[in-house]
Amino acid sequence: MEWKDRTYCGDLTASHVGREVLLMGWVDAVRDHGNLLFIHLRDIRGLVQVVFDPKADMASYQTACTLREEYVVRVKGSVFQRAKGSENPYLETGEIEVFAKDLTILAQSRTLPFLISEKAMVFGEDIQAGPENVDEDLRLQYRYLDLRRPSRQNLFKMRYEIMKCIRDYLDQLSFIEVETPFLTRSTPEGARDYLVPSRLHEGKFYSLKKQDDPYTVEIDRAVDLIREKREREKNRIVKTFSEDSDLMVMNGRWGKYLKHMRYSLHFLSSLPIN
């Protein structure tokens, strides 16, 4: 079974029971019961519990005893239905588990500055080291670790889906997305500019575009999705996506999230949308 045949942890369901699967991912948590060893294996799509039984495969069990959080591993095993009463409703895969037959450690990890796991291995168990319990300066120092958290990765997925929804909607209206320059002349506004020194013109600076500038193109339906770059004082309100939009009405599942996105939607043409 090659890496191309892998199954994502979050894709496992009860329909996989009885099948042999190949999993790859990070060790999210480890629990040793003496005669059995359990791990939560995490990848981009979710978590699944993997069980190592010395009676089934002693070599894999001995290797599993050396596992620590954030080790990268490859596991081959069979999917089983969990015993009644041992299900974990906090996991989407909480009704099943994988009994390992082969384990390979692909990469090791040093001791973590904080726990990344956000799921309890046992139903009802509290996670004491969630992101809200970790000092923000420490999280920013090890940002590459903090971004491994499922809650953080879900924000990336949400942002992608929102932007795709907007682009798909505008595409149905025959709009063409046109990217306008990021480096411009400074414009008089309330927010301070982010300045970028010019290599070719000594002593001169470019200004990062704070929001939609009046660029126009000879396209009857053009739109530009602009990332805002503005500096605000801590006691001032940051302008949000919905406040900067020239025209955007979003109802339904994304409406409550748009106000947290610092984007401008600028229509580069003056034609009405019908």
Percent of the chain with pLDDT over 70: 69
What is the model's pLDDT at position 170?
86
What's the whole-number mean pLDDT along residues 148-156? 87
The whole-chain average pLDDT of the chain stands at 78
Look at domain 3-107 and name its CATH class.
mainly beta
Mean pLDDT (whole number) for 28-51: 92
Tens of pLDDT, residue by residue over 213-249, are 555 556 777 777 766 655 555 444 333 333 333 333 3
Which pTM value belongs to this model?
A: 0.72
Does the pLDDT of residue 151 top 90, yes or no? no
What pLDDT score does 176 carry?
83
Q: Where are the domains of the chain?
A: 3-107, 150-267
pLDDT at position 204 = 85
Give the pLDDT confidence score for residue 190 in this predicted structure: 61
pLDDT mean over 75-102? 92
Higher confidence at residue 109 or residue 263?
Answer: 109
The reported pLDDT for the residue numbered 231 is 54
Main-chain phi, psi angles of 74, to 5 degrees: -120, 130
Question: Quick one: pLDDT at residue 133?
Answer: 78
Residues 6+ apart with CB under 8 A from 217: 178, 268, 269
pLDDT in tens, 165-220: 888 988 898 888 877 777 767 666 666 677 788 888 888 887 776 555 555 556 77
% of the chain at pLDDT higher than 90: 35
Reply yes or no on whether the pLDDT at 22 is more than 70. yes
